[in-house]
């Protein structure tokens, strides 16, 4: 599917500087600098222009010998310095045979400049220098505003690389020493301490721990790792030190492969034309054809060349209204500011515009629809104990452990306001749980494996049903007898249900991608009423799943927060990052939800639709008055003494610009429910 990606053709980026990897910030700074210099030069240009002097009745005060040459010199500086990006853009668009906004701007300023220069040096007519200068000012301002609202995703690869630690603890014959990760070779052994990132892909050869690789693989729960288990570079070691034998280095590693996928996906983005570009193309063809026709007809009718030329130039200049140059940027600026107030950061404008057409939203599960942390979902009592007693004893024991399951049980007890005492003689049961004395009783919280190992049979339909949902179930033993079971799972966000309901109400299908098991995915899908879900999806397959949904003929948004989501975020028609996620997911996305609230996905669609309506309205205001102005400028009503002069044309432009500005500001009245 040739779906649109990060546009490079719109008003703000069609000039050559937008291509070839030029620094985005440098381009913004360049437009800013050219705008302020041109604006400073425009003030004396206005004061020296005969038409402005006449309107202000300051001819006597401001006129002096040689003023027309000073006006010519100042206007030349604005034309060649301020107008340079548009002149470059003209050649770039003609080279690709896609004339658009740059062609229209360059055409208008060039006709105004060369005609006005000819008037200074003897040709009969009026100078358009003040229109030339103000047109360049407005267009530079429009580009500056627009480019500031569009941030490139070029930082994604850098953020990915930064996930890897720079040094590793190499276990060498002469002792342990810190070395750069880049120096590691296959077969080297490295020590990874608790809380540290694993430096590269390898296999555990000593020690046992849990590894948090949620940001890399999307698995919601830390994974137990012991002798012989594979570990991924960039994942975070849990509670114990481990020794890892290096198996992959450099470009072979999992993270490097993800980097390559993001790079390829970014390069494969297709282009789409901007609304303003299409309007500009129509106006360009209109200006050229009507301008040339005007000159020819007046000459055929026997008018002087100077009169015919003046009519042609007036048509050409009026055909590039100031309002059209601001029609899109003003709406973009207002919608970007409005979005930012609601915690929606728009990184790519064209993708934001496409959001109005979305037909499906695919959510990553862990950390997006869910909180990305273990929490208690069910408590099953056995042997006549009360539920609060089961929770109290389990929390007392687990209060001494740093394991994620333990943290979930303790947090649940605190949320239920169930108090507990610290245990005595706490001991970990490696790979199986923990035990301690609580109020003089021997209490254990153990895995199903411990029960099997010790021949303890707990057959209960309730527990079997919980396990079938993919939940993690641990058992509370009191004096070696089962007293209860606690089921834990990745907690579903309270806001997720509302978010999905709002999207469905807008006619959008909601789906889920996860690296978790089919059982876990099925449970979440049923709980939330999803239209579809994809389970056990390996990181490298996420972008493929997005393509598969697109192959159904749907325009798709991807919402995620992890490194493993980055290729899918780039592949989707619109990539949306949950702000609490990794920097790389944010850098790969078109839109960032700062508040990490899935309801904001619906807010994005609402704002996109409202923004598009304003853009269409503004384009009509910005270009629509040409339907009246261009024929009058050409002189169709000359026989009845009605000819549109440059001054009246300027007044019409001003009115159109004001209307466009007011209409853009009205976008602020949009209420984003969240």
Residues marked active site are found at: 364
Separation between Cα atoms, residue 466 and residue 481, nearest integer Å: 21
Q: How far apart are CA 319 and CA 103, in angstroms?
A: 12
Cβ–Cβ contacts within 10 Å for residue 263, how many?
15
Count how many Cα atoms sit within 13 Å of the Cα of residue 388 in the half-sphere of its side chain: 7
Find all residues with CB under 8 Å of 547, minimum gap 6, and list them: 1, 571
Cα–Cα distance between 206 and 45 in angstroms, integer?
78
Print the SS3 string covering 385-414. CCHHHHHHHHHHHHCCCCCHHHHHHHHHHH
Strand bridging mode 532-534 / 509-513 = parallel
Joined together, the tokens standing for residue 34 give: 């050219």
Rounded Cα–Cα distance for residues 272 and 278 (Å): 11
> Is-contact 614 331, C-beta < 8 A?
yes
Long-range CB contacts (within 8 A, 24+) of 371-374: 371/490, 371/491, 371/492, 371/493, 372/214, 372/220, 372/490, 372/561, 373/404, 373/407, 373/408, 373/490, 373/491, 374/220, 374/221, 374/404, 374/405, 374/407, 374/408, 374/472, 374/488, 374/489, 374/490, 374/491
User: How far is residue 539's CA from residue 368's CA, in Å, rounded to a whole number?
Assistant: 16
| CB 232 within 8 Å of CB 193 | no
The H or E element spanning position 91 is: helix 84-95
């Amino acid at each position: 599917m040739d779906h649109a990606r990060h546009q490079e053709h719109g008003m703000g980026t069609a000039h050559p500087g937008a291509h070839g990897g030029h620094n985005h910030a440098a381009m913004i700074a360049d437009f800013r600098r050219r705008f302020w210099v041109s604006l400073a030069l425009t003030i004396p240009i206005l004061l020296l222009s005969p038409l402005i002097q006449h309107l202000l009745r300051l001819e006597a005060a401001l006129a002096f010998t040689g003023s027309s040459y000073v006006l010519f010199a100042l206007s030349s500086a604005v034309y060649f310095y301020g107008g340079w990006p548009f002149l470059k853009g003209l050649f770039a668009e003609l080279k690709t045979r896609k004339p658009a906004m740059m062609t229209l701007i360059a055409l208008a300023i060039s006709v105004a400049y060369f005609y006005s220069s000819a008037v200074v040096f003897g040709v009969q007519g009026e100078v358009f220098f003040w229109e030339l200068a103000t047109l360049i000012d407005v267009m530079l301002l429009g580009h500056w505003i627009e480019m500031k609202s569009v941030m490139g995703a070029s930082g994604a690869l850098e953020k990915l690389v930064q996930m890897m630690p720079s040094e590793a603890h190499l276990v060498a014959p002469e002792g342990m020493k810190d070395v750069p990760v880049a120096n590691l070779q296959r077969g080297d052994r490295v020590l990874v301490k608790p809380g540290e990132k694993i430096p590269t892909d390898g296999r555990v050869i000593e020690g046992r721990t849990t590894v948090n690789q949620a940001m890399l693989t999307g698995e919601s729960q830390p994974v137990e790792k012991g002798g012989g288990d594979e570990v991924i570079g960039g994942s975070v070691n849990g509670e114990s030190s481990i020794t890892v034998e290096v198996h992959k280095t450099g470009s072979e590693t999992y993270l490097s492969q993800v980097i390559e996928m993001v790079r390829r996906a970014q390069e494969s983005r297709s282009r789409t034309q901007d609304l303003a570009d299409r309007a500009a193309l129509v106006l360009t063809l209109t200006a050229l054809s009507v301008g040339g026709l005007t000159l020819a007809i007046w000459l055929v009718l026997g008018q002087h060349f100077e009169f015919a030329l003046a009519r042609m130039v007036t048509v050409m200049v009026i055909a590039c209204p100031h309002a059209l140059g601001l029609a899109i940027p003003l709406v973009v600026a207002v919608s970007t500011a409005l979005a930012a107030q609601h915690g929606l950061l728009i990184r790519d404008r064209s993708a934001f515009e496409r959001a109005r057409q979305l037909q499906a939203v695919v959510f990553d599960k862990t950390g997006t629809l869910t909180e990305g942390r273990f929490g208690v979902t069910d408590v099953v009592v056995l042997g006549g104990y009360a539920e609060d007693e089961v929770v109290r004893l389990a929390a007392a024991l687990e209060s001494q452990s740093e394991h994620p399951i333990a943290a979930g049980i303790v947090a649940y007890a605190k949320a239920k306001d169930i108090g507990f005492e610290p245990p005595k003689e706490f001991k970990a049961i490696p790979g199986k749980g923990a035990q301690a004395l609580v109020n003089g009783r021997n209490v254990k919280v153990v895995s199903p494996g411990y029960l099997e190992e010790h021949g303890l049979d707990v057959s209960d339909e309730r527990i079997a049903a919980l396990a079938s949902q993919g939940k993690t179930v641990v058992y509370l033993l009191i004096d070696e007898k089962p007293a209860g079971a606690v089921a834990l799972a990745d907690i579903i966000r309270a806001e997720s249900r509302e978010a999905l309901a709002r999207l469905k109400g807008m006619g959008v299908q909601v789906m889920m991608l996860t690296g978790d098991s089919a059982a876990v995915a099925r449970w979440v899908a049923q709980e939330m009423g999803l239209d579809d879900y994809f389970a056990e999806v390996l990181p490298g397959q996420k972008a493929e799943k997005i393509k598969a949904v697109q192959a159904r003929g749907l325009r798709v948004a991807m919402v995620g927060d992890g490194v493993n989501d980055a290729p899918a975020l780039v592949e989707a028609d619109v990539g949306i990052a949950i702000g609490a996620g990794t920097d790389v997911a944010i850098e790969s996305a078109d839109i960032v939800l700062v508040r990490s609230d899935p309801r904001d996905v619906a807010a994005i669609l609402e704002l996109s639709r409202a923004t598009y309506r304003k853009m269409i309205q503004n384009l009509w205001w910005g270009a629509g008055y040409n339907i009246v102005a261009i024929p009058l400028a050409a002189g169709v009503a000359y026989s009845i003494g009605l000819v549109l002069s440059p001054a009246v044309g300027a007044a019409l432009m001003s009115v159109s610009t004001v209307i466009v500005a007011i209409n853009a500001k009205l976008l602020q009245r949009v209420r984003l429910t969240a």
